[in-house]
Structures are given as C-alpha cells and as structure tokens.
C-alpha cells in the first residue's frame, strides 16, 4: 500500500506541475509489477513448507532479509519513484526477482526430499545472524543517491552469496546422508544455482557467514569422503 500510494502520489504531483507523465507512469508501472512478483512468489505454492521446520526457518529468514535488503532499502530512501531513472538500480531489481523466484522453487524442492520434525529447536534470526541487524538498520541509513546505489548492489551480491550458501549446505547435507541423489544432480546441473554457488565460494573467503540459518543452529553435516 505504501509503495503503490507513493508511486501514484508522485504521478499526481508531477501532473499538477505540468509534466508529461506518460513515460514515468510506464516506468512506475513496471517497477510495481516487478515488486508484486517478488512478493507473490514468496507465497504461491509455499504453504506446505510450514510443516517443515528446517525449510521454513530458512524461508522466513530469506524472505525477511530480501525484504530489508531490497524494497525496504529503496522505499525508505525514496528511490522507488526514481528507479526508472537508474538502469543500474532497476537491473539489480530484476536480478533480485530472478534470484528470489529460483530460491523459492529450491525451497519447495528441498522440502520434497527432506522433511523431519524438530520439536526442541528455537530459531531466533537475530541471534543466528548478526548482519541481519545491519540490513534492518540500513533501511533508514539516509544514504545519498550514489552511496545508495552502491549499497543496493552490495545487498544483491549478499543475497546471491546467501542463496549459494543455501544450495551448497543443503546439497552437502543430503549427499552426506545419501538422500535424493537425483535431485542433487539436477541442482548441480542448474545454471542459475551454480552461478550463486560460485558467488558463495568467491565471497565466503572475505565475508564468511554462519550457516546456522539453514541448519536450525546445528553444525552442518560433513560430506563423506
């Protein structure tokens, strides 16, 4: 509601100033449609995941960080109504949409082959992930436009790293347990998933992230040699 109202108000204000709003209206519409897809894909066909503690915890954390890293950051910096003026920022939004869509599909695929109860585990994202607080606070950092675009790019890279960590950790766990080898093979052959795995391996050296958000706080299983 806040985003749609903000975009509509911007069009009204521009029109009242005598501006030609045809092109900007088309840009606002495209931004809104992409954001709508990002939101909807988090819910469509995802309700069965609520019965899978491990997958659902990872999903809730992923959905939260992508919200703070992308639409939250852009909204609080009043960037959404100016997104059509920035090919770099709009390109990052498109990257986020493609990544988020594949991660949601990956969560469904993970759930289909690995569903175990976890009755004695409490997962607190703020204790599992120190940097999630930085993403939360970063929404209201008041960055000038150039720094905002740089931060947006950094956030998208972080999301790619996290997606790669998710894929790598799940594959390692299933491989160690001898579970769903055919599904693991399909993931290993997936071009987008392998791109984010490569991103994870590249950035894990300089920005290591605890995998507890994927493993319900436990140490990930080692792959048998």
Residue 20 domain-assigned (yes or no): yes
Neighbours of 49 (CB within 10 A): 20
pLDDT for 137: 92
19: DSSP letter? -
User: Is 175 within 8 Å of 223 (Cβ atoms)?
Assistant: yes
Handedness of CA 202, 187, 153, 208 (dihedral sign): negative
- Give me the domain span that covers residue 158: 2-215
* pTM, full prediction: 0.89
> Above 70 in pLDDT, residue 220?
no
pLDDT for 217: 63
For the chain, how big is the Rg over CA atoms in Å?
A: 19
Residue 49 domain-assigned (yes or no): yes
Per-residue pLDDT band at 144 (split at 50, 70, 90): very high
What is the tally of structural domains in the chain? 1
Residue 75 domain-assigned (yes or no): yes
Residue 220 domain-assigned (yes or no): no
Structure tokens at 102: 């594949």
Residue 225 domain-assigned (yes or no): no
> Above 80 in pLDDT, residue 122?
no
Per-residue pLDDT tens for 83-115? 878 889 989 999 999 999 999 999 999 999 998
Distance CA 98, CA 109 (A): 17
Average pLDDT, the chain: 90
Residue 221 domain-assigned (yes or no): no
Residue 66 domain-assigned (yes or no): yes
Residue 202 domain-assigned (yes or no): yes
Distance CA 196, CA 164 (A): 4
Give the H or E element holding residue 92.
helix 87-113
Distance CA 136, CA 145 (A): 19
Per-residue pLDDT band at 221 (split at 50, 70, 90): very low
Distance CA 59, CA 46 (A): 10
Per-residue pLDDT band at 130 (split at 50, 70, 90): confident
């Amino acid at each position: 509601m806040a985003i749609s109202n903000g975009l509509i108000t911007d069009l009204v204000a521009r029109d009242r100033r005598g501006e030609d709003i045809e092109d900007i209206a088309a840009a606002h519409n495209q931004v809104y449609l992409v954001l709508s897809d990002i939101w909807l894909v988090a819910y469509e066909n995802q309700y069965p995941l609520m019965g899978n503690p491990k997958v659902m915890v990872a999903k809730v954390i992923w959905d939260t960080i992508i919200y703070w890293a992308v639409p939250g950051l852009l909204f609080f910096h009043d960037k959404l109504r100016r997104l059509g003026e920035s090919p770099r920022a709009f390109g990052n939004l498109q990257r986020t949409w493609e990544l988020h869509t594949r991660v949601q599909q990956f969560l469904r695929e993970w759930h289909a082959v690995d569903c175990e109860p976890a009755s004695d585990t409490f997962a607190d994202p703020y204790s599992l992930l120190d940097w999630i607080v930085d993403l939360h606070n970063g929404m209201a950092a008041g960055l000038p436009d150039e720094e905002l675009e740089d931060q947006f790019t950094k956030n998208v890279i972080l999301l790619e790293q996290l997606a790669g960590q998710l894929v790598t950790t799940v594959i390692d766990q299933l491989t160690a347990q001898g579970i769903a080898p055919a599904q693991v093979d399909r993931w290993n052959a997936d071009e987008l998933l392998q791109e984010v795995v490569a991103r994870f391996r590249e950035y894990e050296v300089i920005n290591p992230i605890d995998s507890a958000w994927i493993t319900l706080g436990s140490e990930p299983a080692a792959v048998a040699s």
